[in-house]
Structure 1
Amino acid sequence: MEPDTTGYSENIQRAIDALLNGEMILLFDLEGREAETDFTMPAKNVTPADVRWMRKDAGGLICVALDSEVSGELGLPFMADIIRDASQPGTALGKIVEKGGDLKYDSRSSFSIWVNHRDTRTGIPDNDRALTINKLGEVVERTLNGENVHFGSEFRTPGHVATLRAAKDLVHERMGQTELSITLAKIAGITPAMVVCEMLDDNTGRALAKDDARKYGQDHNLVFVEGEEVVEAYDIWLRSQPRKS
């Protein structure tokens, strides 16, 4: 069923249409935060050509953002918690694990484990990464449909695709690309497993400036969405949802 887009801005409606068609969009988080634009699309629709496009034209880390509740059901922890639990007092791991206040732009990272699907060989070529990404989208959908998925029977770690665990309250809790992309998936009514990959600047060595990312979107017919637009649309979407008794 098509989502009700009543009340959304024209730009958000265009983004929803693109995601429903399995297409790429550009997603900017927030000035004063990372201030980065990511290539973003549904994990289930990613092809090897999309992986190549992201690594060549975006250049950042290709990750898969996952719904918080499903991440919990699949047993996917935050990477910082894994390292914290594994480290002993005074060891190197204990000294480098993420702590409150470490990040200049947020209170914590959303990284979970890095995986390869078990049907891949090395996991790093475009074909292998596309398969892993597709399968992550599938296990999220299967879990939401009530299936008891054994994550380890499908994936192994370490691998070459980083998974990201969204915050429970999404953009009301955290304004990362993880939460923004999953929020858009919820609004669009698609499987909440989304690929994100930062756009980098070959000349400056920094993240691509927002205006340059927007120009890239215009040149390649990609919808460009800002985080503040996503928050506004999410609030509208929440008001439309049935109240839990």
Structure 2
Amino acid sequence: MEQSLERINTALVSLRKGKMVILVDEEAANNEAHLILPAEKVSSKAINFMSTEAKGLICLALDPNKVESLKLPLMSSSSHSKTAFTLSIDKKEIKTGSSAQDRAETIKTAIHPKASPHDLVTPGHIFPLKASQNGVLEKRTPSDAAVDLMNIAKMDRSSVICQILNNDGELTNQEELKFFSRKHHIPILNIKDIIHYRLYYEALLEIKNEKQLDTAFGPFTCLTYADKITKNEHFALIKGKIKNGCLLRIHQGCLEGDVFLSKSCHCKKNLHDSLNALSKENSGILFYHPEPITKDRCQHSNLKISYYALASQLLKQFDVTAVHVLMTHLHEVNSLKSFGISVLSKTKLEP
């Protein structure tokens, strides 16, 4: 988390000064990289730089509320792209709309707090992109990341965004991108850093129900939570009073194993062994994450990192920052640490 936070802070300093940041997604297959700039800091100089140095299409990432207030219709799309383009825009009664000055003026007009649909015309030379309501926690796109980053910076939630191309007009490779960064003194930020930052700092769990549960392994307090992004429910079985040094198990729900006792996975045994271990403790918690059945789902070797983010948030609600862990995979420990939870010891569940 420290390196991720350092990259975020470096980016925030640049953005607040009206400078650009390079946004990449190391998990994307096509090595896309984008220049982003706070829309409130846009200038003809910045637009010209994007045109001549980055060379990609200059777009305006907007939060969904802004898109709605401007009544910008989405373009129909037959592609597999997750990016939501609206109709392109120009400022009303502007000259050609294509100059750097005209495009900067269009952006300033669109993001103005009192802007209305009557201030713009379509089609135009600026291409708005509609971000998701929940940003990168809903869709992992550059436009969502850019809008989220502006929100983290406490700036207007709009961003000018432009794909970076090399001198041949192709997508940049890693070496070309590093050279571009050094040449122009522009920091590089990964989309995963923004995702991690939001999962670390934003409160995503809200309690829905609490009841006492008498199980074959003894009595537990069962808390039902819902996360604010997917609205999915998660459960916490608690033994005793939760405090630092308690025993923790994060269990990914498995309908086949936990309920129907499938012999093709170890889920039921792991769950029962965990509850048995917790029953012998004065303080312990099992975080249960239900998941719909999918093909070969039980043959998992990894769990989604969000499980650990949510479990970490639950622990922090109890002011717990250090735990003993029952685990099936080593990455569980590393994931907890990345969300600010210290691991005092780890015990591997045997299949």
Q: Report the TM-score, using the length of structure 2 for normalisation.
A: 0.55
How far apart in 2 are the matches of 1:7 and 1:236? 14
- Partner residue, 2:32: 36
| Higher mean C-alpha displacement, 109-118 vs 66-75 | 66-75
4+ long deviations beyond 6 Å: 240-244
Counterpart of 2:66?
70
More moved, 206-215 vs 225-234: 206-215
Structure 1 length-normalised TM: 0.77
Contact 1:65 1:164 in 2 (8 A): yes
Higher relative contact order by CA 8 Å / sep ≥ 6: 1 or 2? Answer: 1
Question: Who is 2:254 aligned against?
Answer: none
* 1:42-57 matched pairs, under 5 angstroms: 42-57=38-53
Q: Is the 8 A contact 2:36 2:146 kept in 1?
A: yes
Matches within 5 A, 1:122-133: 122-133=96-107
State which structure, 1 or 2, has the greater radius of gyration over its C-alpha atoms: 2
CA distance 1:44–1:198, shift in 2 (3 Å): same
Figure out how many residues of one structure are paired with residues of the other and give that number. Answer: 207
Counterpart residue number, 2:325: none
1:232 corresponds to: 196
2:57 is aligned to 61
Out of 174, 177, 180, the position equivalent to 2:145 is 180
Which one has a larger percent helix, Structure 1 or Structure 2?
1
Pick aligned residue for 1:160 from 119, 125, 135: 125
1:150 aligns with one of 79, 104, 116: 116
CA 1:73/1:30 → structure 2, altered by over 3 Å: closer, same or farther? farther
Q: CA deviation at 1:222?
A: 1.0
**Alpha-carbon distance between aligned partners in 2 of 1:207 and 1:115, rounded to the nearest angstrom:** 26
What RMSD over aligned residues (CA atoms) do the two structures have, in Å?
2.5
Indicate which of 83, 90, 104 corresponds to 1:116.
90
Mind listing any 5+ residue stretches in structure 2 that lack a counterpart? Answer: 208-227, 229-351
Match for residue 25 of structure 1 among 21, 24, 27? 21
Q: Which residue of 2 aligns with 1:195?
A: 160
Task: Quote the offset at 1:130 in angstroms.
Answer: 0.9
Aligned mate of 1:208, from 135, 149, 172: 172
State the distance in 2 between where 1:219 and 1:14 align: 17
Q: What amino acid does structure 1 have at the position aligned with 2:147? A: I
**Residue ranges of structure 1 left out of the alignment (5+ in a row):** 1-5, 81-96
Counterpart contact for 1:43–1:194, Cα < 8 Å: yes
Determine which structure has the larger strand proportion and give its number. Answer: 2
